[in-house]
Amino acid sequence: MVRGIRGAITVDENSKQKIIAACARLVKAMQEANGYQPDDISHIIITATQDLTAAFPAQGLREVPGYDLVPVMCAQEIPVPDSLEKCIRVMATINTNKQSSEIHHIYLEKAVKLRPDLVLTNKCDSR
C-alpha cells in the first residue's frame, strides 16, 4: 500500500547550512518514527517558504545515507499572508503495510503550530 508521511520544520535564519541541516534532521526523524527504508520511498516533495532561498532543501536529503537515488522535487510554498515563516515541509510517499492510523507525521520546532490536532492526539512526533 502507498501512504504519505508529512513533516515540517522551521529554521531560525536563511542560511545554506541551516536549511540543509534542518531538512536532513526532519527526514531522519520521519524515517525513524515510521520504520521505513529509502528503498520503500516512491518520491519526496519538499516545499519551502519564500523567505528560504539560500539552498535547495533537497540537498539535506543527499546527506542522509541511502537517499541518493530517491526522486525528490523542491517547490516554493504558497505565500499565504501571516503563514509560518522559514518553514520547510516534506511529503514522503512510501510503500508500507501500515494503516493510516499507524503513520507518525513529524513536526519540529515552530512547525508544531501547523497541525496541533495531530500533536494533541499523539499522532505525530514533535521532538
Place of cell 531522519: 28
Instruction: Look up 67 and say whether it is catalytic.
Output: no
Instruction: Look up 63 and say whether it is catalytic.
Output: no
Instruction: Look up 127 and say whether it is catalytic.
Output: no
Name the grid cell of 11: 529554521
Taking the C-alpha atoms of residue 62 and residue 43, their distance in angstroms, rounded to an integer, is 14
Instruction: Look up 107 and say whether it is catalytic.
Output: yes
Catalytic-labelled residue, pool 3, 77, 87, 109: 77
Beta bridge partners of 94: 3, 41
Catalytic-labelled residue, pool 3, 6, 23, 109: 6
Instruction: Look up 124 and say whether it is catalytic.
Output: no
Catalytic-labelled residue, pool 25, 107, 109, 124: 107
Catalytic-labelled residue, pool 89, 102, 109, 127: 89
Give yes or no for a contact between 88 and 8, defined as CB atoms under 8 angstroms apart.
Answer: yes
Instruction: Look up 74 and say whether it is catalytic.
Output: yes
Three-state DSSP class for 4? strand
Instruction: Look up 87 and say whether it is catalytic.
Output: no
Active site positions, annotated = 6, 62, 74, 77, 89, 107, 115
